[in-house]
Structure 1
Amino acid sequence: MLIEQRRLLAGTTQLALRPNGLYVCQRNRDGRPVVEFEMPYEEVLPVRITRRRTTPQLTWLPLAVLWLSVNLLQRLIPTTSSLSEASWVGLFALGGLLVAGGIYAQRNWWQHVTLGTARANITLADRPSERASVDKFASVLEQRTKAYLREEYANVNPLGIIETQLHRLRWLRTLDVLSEKEARILATRLTGRLDMPPLRSMGQVLEPPYVN
């Protein structure tokens, strides 16, 4: 699965799911890589999506535009007694450019979505047309990561080093790759002991029973 986003004057950001990890590449407007790495799936979880809006508080901008407009009208009206057709066209064109610029800034500069992982945060423009694809990419990334970790690390071998494998099972449980029941079954298969509260008899703590 692949996501690629282009931004004016900011280059391109590309995210891709590879067999062993998440590929991230940010290129400048000339196409040269600025940041490029592959994050192994072992370092991805947890995956989270965060959206935020950073609209600048330009309280001085309307006053500045009003002042410039009044000065422009004062210069034009005395000489022509009324605005010419070309002047009206120019004013409407300027207004259209301001509106278009505001819409573009709203979609590309002021609204952001961050794909967070355990090792890195990747920030993209939060465009309405791309929200569904970004959310789907995050969901698929989480599913792919859990499937990879389950396949690579959820197998146990009672003939191997037991403590290391128990630590690995606890790690998978912490990342929610294994459910509580699955982790308990695998630990029992590994140690041969039932995972249960300690037994007490005659004031003494007994070892948990073994299973065949």
Structure 2
Amino acid sequence: MTHRSFMLGAVALACACGTALAKSPVTPSSQTLDGLPGLACQAILCLSSSLQPGECAPSLNHYFGIQIFNKYGLDWGATVAARRVFLGMCPAADAPGMPARIDAIAHGAGKCDPQSLNSAFAATAYRYRKTASAGGDAGEITTYDVQPIATVNQNTLPGYCVSYNDHAWTYDLSVKYVGEPLKGGYWVKAKDFNTAQARWQAEHGGQWASGWTYSWNDPRSPLGMNHGN
């Protein structure tokens, strides 16, 4: 999406806010977007773009500061609901298309950038090859050369990220998966994909890949031979 598209989205939200204020039964002197309503509208715009200037700090700090805990730790469902309530304070929250946009932001913001995805789906894969096999009283014994691989095991976006990223008012939130899950894959911003993919292919081809078998399980473990390729 182009910067112009994002600006059109910003204008659309501003117009919606203006319409909502015009219909509001309050005095003219109070018809300004300050306080929590102003922060909520600002948060919607700032969370719809990777371009987040310093002016976004107050609303983003407030938004991400909304955290609901239970005895087990962060209650994500309750946190999403509370953040949704905050965003709903924007006067434009009921404008056409806005409820779905607010829902997408509440579920996806802070969880769909490369760093968050790479952390949430971090995993360890293994590449291995046999080094020796020998028979004995206990049966055949096989030894392996095993190397763990830090990787990200999900190469498709969760549904909440698809909803968050794929919107007419979204600017430059797209991400792409580099490489393969069993071979050190990871997420990057879409604009960085070509460079990152070329680097991954250079680092994970040739001798690095030749002669190895790849698995989610250590071949020396009971699950060892349930390998990936």
Q: Do both share a fold (TM > 0.5)?
A: no
Larger Rg: 1
Q: With structure 1 as the length reference, what TM-score do the two structures score?
A: 0.30
Q: With structure 2 as the length reference, what TM-score do the two structures score?
A: 0.28
More strand by share: 1
User: Which structure exhibits the higher relative contact order, with contacts defined as CA atoms closer than 8 Å and separated by 6 or more residues?
Assistant: 2
